[in-house]
Amino acid sequence: MKIYGDVYSGNCYKLKLICALLAIEHEWIPVDILKGDTRSENFLALNPNGQIPVCVTVEGDVLTESNAILYYLAQGSQYWPQDRLAQTRVLEWQFFEQYSHEPSIAVARFIKLYQGMPEDRKDEYQARLKAGYRALGLMEQHLENNRFLVGDNCSIADISLFAYTHVAPEGGFELSKFPAIENWVARIQALDGFISMAG
Ligand SMILES: N[C@@H](CCC(=O)N[C@@H](CS)C(=O)NCC(=O)O)C(=O)O
């Protein structure tokens, strides 16, 4: 199996993390977005949407969309629950991540960390910060009474949300305002097989 990605991208790190937790062997192929790798003819032949991560399975199927790939990789493991309601709850959090969390937190991080806060994106940054804090508030509320996002164990819902939440301070978010999130981050970091973004 091959994974094309950049580990400092949370979307790609999700896959690095599930592979580490489940000891899934794979070849990691580094892709540099800033150098325009995702716009090359070869890459667009793989993913016409021009985005990482991309996973090429042992059978040669090309998979895109980080949360869909998590679903593929977690089949048969404890990270994908058996129960229909719990499965639906996992999907709820993953759709929340893609619509309400990642677009604000990941983009705020990109503007601040990668682009160094250019003048023409300052207003947008403030809007993303506000939306990101709202998303973190919703997570905090849930995690005040729950150890993980769904049920008593870590699932791919947690992996999806962990990816950009734990690096939210790089985007200017103060995680110390969210003690339940900080405890949840520590619980994930303590999992057997956990690997950090830089690891
Ligand atoms: N919904 C996609 C988002 C993927 C995404 O935004 N990838 C970024 C890196 S984090 C990317 O490839 N950006 C390059 C581009 O769009 O040109 C997923 O979850 O996989």
Is residue 112, in this structure, part of any structural domain at all? Answer: yes
Residue 130 counted as domain residue = yes
Q: What is the DSSP letter of 164?
A: H
Which among 15, 43, 74 is the end of a domain? 74
Task: Give distance in angstroms: CA of 83 to centre of ligand 1.
Answer: 30
Domains in the chain: how many in total?
2
| CATH number of the CATH domain containing 67 | 3.40.30.10
pLDDT at 7: 87
Task: Assess whether the C-beta atom of 104 lies below 6 angstroms from ligand 1.
Answer: no
**Structure tokens, 5:** 């990605």
Do 65 and 112 share a domain, yes or no? no
- Residue 117 maps to a domain: yes
Same domain, 40 and 102: no
51 lines ligand 1 (CB under 6 A): yes
| Cα–ligand 1 centroid distance for 51 (angstroms) | 4
**198 in a structural domain:** no
Reported in sequence order, the residue ranges of 26-159 that DSSP labels E, i.e. its strands, are 27-30, 54-56, 62-64
Q: Is 20 exposed, middle or buried (0-12, 13-18, 19+ CB in 10 A)?
A: middle
Do 54 and 138 share a structural domain? no
* CATH code, domain carrying 125: 1.20.1050.10
For residues 115 and 158, membership in a common domain is answered with yes
The answer to whether residues 92 and 185 belong to one domain is yes
For residue 137, the enclosing domain spans 84-189
Of ligand 1's listed atoms, the one at least distance from the Cα of 106 is 10
Contacts of residue 66, Cβ cutoff 8 Å, sequence gap at least 6: 11, 12, 14, 15, 53, 160, 163
151 alpha-carbon distance from chain centroid: 19
Locate the DSSP E strands across the chain: 2-5, 27-30, 54-56, 62-64
Kindly state whether residues 88 and 180 are assigned to the same domain.
yes
CB atoms within 10 A of CB 67: 20
> How far is CA 193 from each of CA 100, 107, 159, rounded to the nearest angstrom?
29, 28, 13
Per run of 10 residues, the mean pLDDT along the chain (length 199 residues) is 96 98 98 95 98 98 98 98 98 98 98 97 98 98 98 98 98 98 98 94
* Same-domain check for residues 120 and 161: yes
Judge whether 156 lies within some domain: yes
* CA 53 to ligand 1: nearest atom: 20
pTM over 0.95: yes
Whether residue 51 contacts residue 10, with contact meaning beta carbons closer than 8 Å, is answered with: no
Q: Could you tell me if 175 and 110 lie in one domain?
A: yes
| Residue 162 resides in a domain | yes
Contacts of 188 (CB under 8 A, 6+ apart): 154, 158, 159, 162, 166, 194
- Please tell me the predicted confidence (pLDDT) of residue 69: 98
